[in-house]
A and B are shown apart, each in its own frame.
Chain A
Amino acid sequence: GAVVSQHPSWVICKSGTSVKIECRSLDFQATTMFWYRQFPKQSLMLMATSNEGSKATYEQGVEKDKFLINHASLTLSTLTVTSAHPEDSSFYICSASGGWDGLGKTFGSGTRLTVV
């Protein structure tokens, strides 16, 4: 079945530094990837949608200059949190789709980011 690998699973960084999170589709080509953020005991909120080779589409209220998304290949998308601050501490999770049938079915295992 379709597998999505997300790395790292957790990261602690200092305020002001940047952190990169990778999302890879291991056994299929992901034409579209989605990035979500989940604060403690809250629901998942869609941050952005990225299509391979195109600029990401960001949801309202999500700063595109702060959350840089690159989807340069059909198997890899990255989310970079630039100049991270404590309020960016959250659980980030990606989802990948290779086509209509796979929509919404495959998620990465998530990355817990703590900014100190």
Chain B
Amino acid sequence: RKEVEQDPGPFNVPEGATVAFNCTYSNSASQSFFWYRQDCRKEPKLLMSVYSSGNEDGRFTAQLNRASQYISLLIRDSKLSDSATYLCVVNPGETTDSWGKLQFGAGTQVVVTP
């Protein structure tokens, strides 16, 4: 089983619609969670951190469910510019063996269409 799993998509979304997708993680002791956005042939860029209580940044909402070990990302009022691959990233903790070793999902592709 992969440490971080995501539906690869693509999620085809009409402009203005809402899209949501999840990511599951295997290590129940994981410390922190992030969503990164990666455009084709570009570097990953931090979209938002995910907090236990859930958090919102403009049109983006992230949720964490520790009991079921998943995080989610919801995008409201989708824009054409939201088309990208969204990487789920998990920090497993700060033990000697795991320090600095972010666990990346392979990404969920979102395609927003006019």
Asked if A pairs with B, the answer is: no
Chain A contact residues, CB within 8 Å of chain B: none
